Amino acid sequence: MANAKSTAKPTTPSTAKPRVAKQKSIIASNVSSFVNQATYNQRVQEKAYELYLQRGGAPGNELNDWFEAEKIVASKVTSQSK
């Protein structure tokens, strides 16, 4: 019985299809490199939740809360790095 050879080409990083990654926000990409992304995202999430509670927990403004939280957290991070 002869060994069957695979006809499929091995994928290398240069030929493999890139997976769709989550888009990073512009603000997050400008944050100082000393803050890792997980910590930054957690801070933004907590601040967005605070903003949500401050406006009475009404639905419909989640993106505005998130973007405002990013601005707040990013400004704190960049002011600490100076």
DSSP 3-state percent helix, strand, coil across the chain (nearest 5) = 50, 0, 50
Give the chain's radius of gyration (CA, Å).
21
> For 5-33, how does the pLDDT look when each residue is reduced to its tens digit (9 = 90+)?
556 555 555 555 554 444 556 566 655 55
Please tell me the pTM assigned to this model. 0.55
* Confidence (pLDDT) at 30: 57
Asked whether 32 and 78 are in contact (CB, 8 A), the reply is: yes
> For 38-78, how does the pLDDT look when each residue is reduced to its tens digit (9 = 90+)?
888 999 999 999 999 999 998 899 999 999 999 999 998 77
Q: How far apart are CA 33 and CA 24, in angstroms?
A: 14
* Confidence (pLDDT) at 64: 95
Secondary structure letter of residue 8 according to DSSP:
S
* Confidence (pLDDT) at 80: 74
